[in-house]
Amino acid sequence: MDTDKTDDVPVPAEPEVAGEEPPVDEPSVDEPPVEEPVDEHPGQRLVVIKHHALVRLSHWLNVPILFALIVSGFSIYWASPVFLHKPDPVTHSRDYLADLGIAIARHVPGAEANPSWFYDHFGLGVYNLAGALRWHWLFVYFFLANGILYILGLAFGGGFRALLPRRSMFGESLAMMRYYAGVVPMKIARRPWPHPEITTKYNALQRGAYASMPVAGALALASGWAMHKPVQFWWLERMFGSYDGARIVHFAVMVYLILFLVPHVILVLVDGWDTMRSMVAGWSVRIGGNQ
C-alpha cells in the first residue's frame, strides 16, 4: 500500500564568518540631544575692573613730574657733564649732549648750531643752575610721594600679583619679542601674524617692564641723594662706587625711563581705546562675554 510521504530535507546553515556575531534586535534608545553652549550675556558689555584708583592717579601724575625732572635735570647736567670727549676742533664742544644738539640744529631751518642748543630746547636753558636745582628738588619730593601712592594702589587693589615673576616668563618673553619684531613686516606683507596666547593680565615683557619701574625709581632717588649729600650719606655714595658713579647711574635711569615711555605710548595707541580707558576709568569691557 503506497502512502504519500514527505521527507524532511535538512536546509544547510549559512557558514558563520569569524568575528561576526548574529544580529540582535535591540530596542532603540533615544540619545539625549547635544546642548550647544549658550552665551549668558549675548551682545552685552561686561565691565572688567582693571586698575585701582591710586594706581591710575599716580600713573597720570608721573607725566608732569617726570617731564619736570628731566628738563630741569638737563640744565643741571649742563653745568658739569659726566660724559666728555676731547674738544671738537670746529665746535669746541666736549659734551655728547651738546654734540647731539648741534647735529639736530643743522637739520632745523633757521636754527643756530651751537653747544647750547640742546639745553635751551630740552632743558631750562644754560646758566640756570640755581633755578634748575630748585625746580628739580621740588619735583623730587612730588616723585617720592607719587611713588608711595603707586605702591599703596598696587597693595590695596592686588595689582602687585600681576607683576610677580612666573616660571614661563623666559619662553613667553621670547614669543613676545618674536611677535613684536614681525608684526610690522607681516602687516606690510599682509600676512597673518597671530598674537601669542596670553592667559594673564600682562604678558612677560609687560610684567618685566612694569615691575622694573619701582626699582628704577628707587635707584633714581638713591643716586640723587648720594649726589646731593655725599658727605652726610657717604655710605650711599660708596654704594655707587664714587660720586661720578652715582651720576652715571642717575643719568642711566633717566635714559631708561625715556626708552620705556616711547614704546609704552606707541603700544597703548596701537592696542586701542579700551586699554587707555582702563587707565582712565579703571575698567575695561567684554562684548558678549569675550574679551
- What distance in Å separates the CA atoms of residue 229 and residue 240, rounded to the nearest whole number? 13
Note the pLDDT tens digit of each residue in 51-110. Answer: 889 999 999 999 999 999 999 999 999 999 999 999 999 888 999 999 999 999 999 999
pLDDT over 60 (residue 35): no
For 234, half-sphere exposure in the C-beta direction (CA atoms, 13 angstrom radius) is 2
Q: Is the domain covering 45-287 a CATH 1.10.3110.10 domain?
A: no
DSSP string for 231-250: TTTHHHHHHTSSHHHHHHHH
Work out the number of other CB atoms within 10 angstroms of the CB of residue 115: 19
Structure confidence at residue 26 (pLDDT): 53
- What distance in Å separates the CA atoms of residue 269 and residue 148, rounded to the nearest whole number? 27
Who's near 250: CB < 8 A, 6+ residues apart?
220, 223, 224, 227
Note the pLDDT tens digit of each residue in 251-291. Answer: 999 999 999 988 888 777 766 777 778 888 877 775 444 44
Mean pLDDT of 238-258: 94
Note the pLDDT tens digit of each residue in 18-34. Answer: 555 555 555 554 544 54
Residue 263 grid cell: 614704546
- What distance in Å separates the CA atoms of residue 18 and residue 14, rounded to the nearest whole number? 12
Q: What is the 3-state secondary structure (H, E, C) of 125-188?
A: CCCCHHHHHHHHHHHHHHHHHHHHHHHHHHHHHCHHHHHCCCCCHHHHHHHHHHHHHHHHHHHH
Residue spans per domain, the chain: 45-287
User: Which pTM value belongs to this model?
Assistant: 0.75
Mean pLDDT of 197-213: 85
- What distance in Å separates the CA atoms of residue 217 and residue 168, rounded to the nearest whole number? 26
Nearest to 228 by CA among 217, 236, 218: 236
The phi-psi region of residue 37 (left if phi > 0; otherwise alpha if psi is between -120 and 50; otherwise beta) is beta
Mean pLDDT of 38-63: 74
Mean pLDDT of 212-223: 94
Note the pLDDT tens digit of each residue in 163-195. Answer: 888 888 888 889 988 988 888 889 899 999 888
